[in-house]
Amino acid sequence: MAGYLPICKEDLEKQNIDQLDFVYVIGDAYVDHPSFGPAIISRVLESHGYTVGIISQPDWKDQDSISILGKPRLAFIISGGNMDSMVNHYYVSKKHRSTDAYTPGGEVGKRPDHATVVYGNLIRKTYKDIPIVIGGIEASLRRMAHYDYWSDSFKRSILLDSGANMISYGMGEKSIVEIADALNSGLNVSDITFVKGTVYKTKDENLFYDEIRLPSYDQMKEDKRYYAESFKIQYDNTDPFTGKVLVEEYPNGVFVVQNPPQPPLSTQEMDDVYALPYMRNYHPSYEEKGGVPAISEIKFSLISNRGCFGGCNFCALTFHQGRTIQVRSHESIIDEAKKIIDLPEFKGYIHDVGGPTANFRHPSCEKQLKYGVCKNKQCLFPKPCKNLYVDHSDYLALLRKLRELPKVKKVFVRSGIRFDYLLADSDDTFFKELVEHHISGQLKVAPEHIADPVLMRMGKPENSVYERFIHRYKKLNEQMGKNQFVVPYLMSSHPGSTMKEAVALAEYLRDIGYMPEQVQDFYPTPSTMSTVMYYTGIDPRDMKPVYVVKNPHEKAMQRALIQYRNPANYDLVYEALVKAGREDLIGFDKKCLIRPRHNASYNSKKGKQYAHAPKSNGNGKYVRNNNEHNKGNGASGGKKKKKTIRNVHKKKKN
């Protein structure tokens, strides 16, 4: 069926639809593009003969907003949006974000907190017995009991709080069709307990077998250690080949039952999904508000894969897309590229070709598709597995084909590049062509930290691996006569990061002459290993205690150290260095991070100062006495040349 999916009664009349099979309630604006989950699920259902209508961002304060398309024949489907609604609304500081890229005009406040729960209860007030299926990132990552950072509380499965009947977790194409077919055959939603990739609730213990019993909700709420144990079991059962049925008990004899994940899509199935008749844009009704900002990020980009065997502990991909790589064929991607090229706004640049990790184009080893991923081993951490299959030739061939398309000037790779996997490849051809053809002046990579104790908690490789990557990258640029740079993504306050490691990161940035313009504080989002560490103080992998920064002031100090040159951070950096016992970094030596305070008696031999209260000049910059000029390495004020991106990973000249 051509055109946008119906969003109002007038659309139903135009398309001669008396009653929709499904009404899809979403927290985002309606964007009919395969980078948006609701668009994929809707088009997949449509391709199987079902009709779907969209209610986008309903007014949750108005009960009638949920019935504008009438009662669906089979079920309501709910997605909170492409992001968890709480992440969409709040910074890690819990302050409100000022814009929403998934709402027309970037307007904020168009969806509620915990959108999936609110929408579910809104539907249940109007339609008492209608089946409700929830999915998307918010439901998927909250499918079992979980820690909620924003309320600092331990919450039940979202299935119970939303009033829904089922969760379709993960990417959901296969499970949603099975659910639809079962409902269409006349099965009661309470009897649909057999679909992989779903979670259901029951009081009947006879409905599940060969299960793993997780600690009960009451046990986990009472003792955090039980939650750490439960999460490790869940993590070990995210593989579609080896995953078991998981059962979580709640009061009053209620069980939340998670079936194993849906099987990964074959290449043909992936191609079929991306060949569906998407309009590839936001609904035209949003035009008067300036459109939907999020489209600009993906309009000229291509998705080539799903899944990630990188296994970073702060990332939820293992729980949502899984560790099995799924890819589209070259032909499918090139066909989509031609559609992009034909757009009138296309300027010759394909912005990205990738996915969660751009340079993953096949399973990590030959055993994976038969036996599943290893439960107690990671493919790349702490070292690349001896069975790891490292080969960039398929990805390189794809990029070469895209470069040769008419009207294409440049094909960029802006998805994450896994640099340890890149280094594990004995053939440098891809690395060379990446540097020569696919970088737009700067390559963004994610070492996240440089202190090995923190990297270990993150599930990232040792810093020496990143250093080898940087050395090789710089050498290739020199050989090609290019002046391209690396921008490292860095994270403060991750579990395991004490003030000692935070200072070490600041010293590293000093040595490479770089101050990031933006720093990401660790954000405890649902269903990540790192979030469990944050909440429990335990690393679920070994059940050992881990240092966790929770105090907002200490978090601010760790963050300030990464941007120690910013005059506004002086007090925090000073306090952090004293707390860490690193007063040797306060002084006038080139290795020092900041200058002494105003009116300080400074002992240069001992590297210590005896300071009075600092005095500000009124603009956040602190001025020293003794007629000394404010220049050098310190963040104590004065005019100094701003560090630009060209300083990244270039040693300062003495």
Q: Which domain holds residue 142?
A: 9-200
Mean pLDDT of 149-172: 97
| Per-residue confidence (pLDDT) for residue 646, from 0 to 100 | 39
Span 64-116, pLDDT tens digits: 999 999 999 999 999 999 999 999 999 999 999 999 999 999 999 999 999 99
Span 461-520, pLDDT tens digits: 999 999 999 999 999 999 999 999 999 999 999 999 999 999 999 999 999 998 888 789
Model confidence at 369, in pLDDT bands (50, 70, 90)? confident
* Closest C-alpha to 113, from 93, 135, 90: 90
Model confidence at 591, in pLDDT bands (50, 70, 90)? very high
Last residue of a domain, one of 168, 200, 232: 200
In residues, how long is the chain?
654
For residue 482, the 8-state DSSP code is: -
Span 9-46, pLDDT tens digits: 999 999 999 999 999 999 999 999 999 999 999 999 99
Quick check: is 276 in a domain? no
Contact between 609 and 522 under an 8 Å Cβ cutoff? The reply is no
| b/e 568-582 (16+ beta carbons within 10 angstroms → b) | ebbbbbbbbbeebeb
* Closest C-alpha to 354, from 294, 305, 409, 399: 305
Phi, psi (5° rounding) for residue 74? Answer: -110, -50
Model confidence at 47, in pLDDT bands (50, 70, 90)? very high
Q: Residue 269: which region, alpha, beta or left (left: phi > 0; alpha: psi -120 to 50)?
A: alpha
Spatial separation of the C-alpha atoms in residues 80 and 25, rounded to whole Å: 8
* 495 shares its domain with 643: yes
| Per-residue confidence (pLDDT) for residue 387, from 0 to 100 | 93
* 394 shares its domain with 475: no
Quick check: is 279 in a domain? no
| Per-residue confidence (pLDDT) for residue 628, from 0 to 100 | 31
* 405 shares its domain with 481: no
- Where does 262-303 show beta strands of DSSP type E? 281-282, 301-303
Q: Which residue is it, tokens 């955090």?
A: 224
Quick check: is 25 in a domain? yes
* 621 shares its domain with 472: yes
* Closest C-alpha to 175, from 265, 242, 244, 85: 265
Model confidence at 376, in pLDDT bands (50, 70, 90)? confident
CATH code assigned at 310: 3.30.750.210
Mean pLDDT of 217-239: 97
Contact between 1 and 95 under an 8 Å Cβ cutoff? The reply is no
Considering the entire predicted model, what is its pTM? 0.90
Quick check: is 176 in a domain? yes
* 20 shares its domain with 129: yes
Last residue of a domain, one of 440, 471, 487: 440
Q: What are the residues whose beta carbons fall under 8 Å from the beta carbon of 391, sequence distance 6 or more? A: 362, 425
Quick check: is 250 in a domain? no
* 466 shares its domain with 396: no
Q: Which residue is it, tokens 């270039």?
A: 650
Lowest pLDDT segment from 238-252, 268-282, 442-456, 608-622:
608-622
Strands 166-168 and 132-135 turn out to be parallel
Say whether pLDDT at 416 is over 70. yes
* 481 shares its domain with 581: yes
Nearest 5°: the CA angle 58, 63, 69 is: 60
CATH code assigned at 125: 3.40.50
Q: 10 Å Cβ neighbour count for 38? A: 26
Spatial separation of the C-alpha atoms in residues 8 and 66, rounded to whole Å: 11
Say whether pLDDT at 429 is over 60. yes
Quick check: is 543 in a domain? yes
Model confidence at 2, in pLDDT bands (50, 70, 90)? low
* 113 shares its domain with 164: yes
* Closest C-alpha to 482, from 435, 514, 428: 435
Quick check: is 445 in a domain? no
Q: Which residue is it, tokens 């802006």?
A: 414
* Closest C-alpha to 572, from 589, 555, 595: 555
Quick check: is 218 in a domain? no
Give the mean pLDDT of the chain: 91
Last residue of a domain, one of 173, 200, 227: 200
Spatial separation of the C-alpha atoms in residues 31 and 346, rounded to whole Å: 19
The domain tally of the chain equals 3
* 189 shares its domain with 99: yes
Mean pLDDT of 199-227: 97
Mean pLDDT of 526-542: 97
- Where does 331-478 show beta strands of DSSP type E? 349-350, 352-354, 410-411, 442-448
Phi, psi (5° rounding) for residue 498? Answer: -90, 180
Nearest 5°: the CA angle 82, 487, 322 is: 35
Say whether pLDDT at 542 is over 70. yes
Share of the chain above pLDDT 70, in %: 91
| Per-residue confidence (pLDDT) for residue 597, from 0 to 100 | 82
| Per-residue confidence (pLDDT) for residue 580, from 0 to 100 | 96
* 413 shares its domain with 550: no
Span 337-354, pLDDT tens digits: 999 999 999 999 999 999
Span 620-648, pLDDT tens digits: 332 333 333 333 333 333 333 333 333 44
Q: Which residue is it, tokens 């079962």?
A: 182
Say whether pLDDT at 391 is over 80. yes
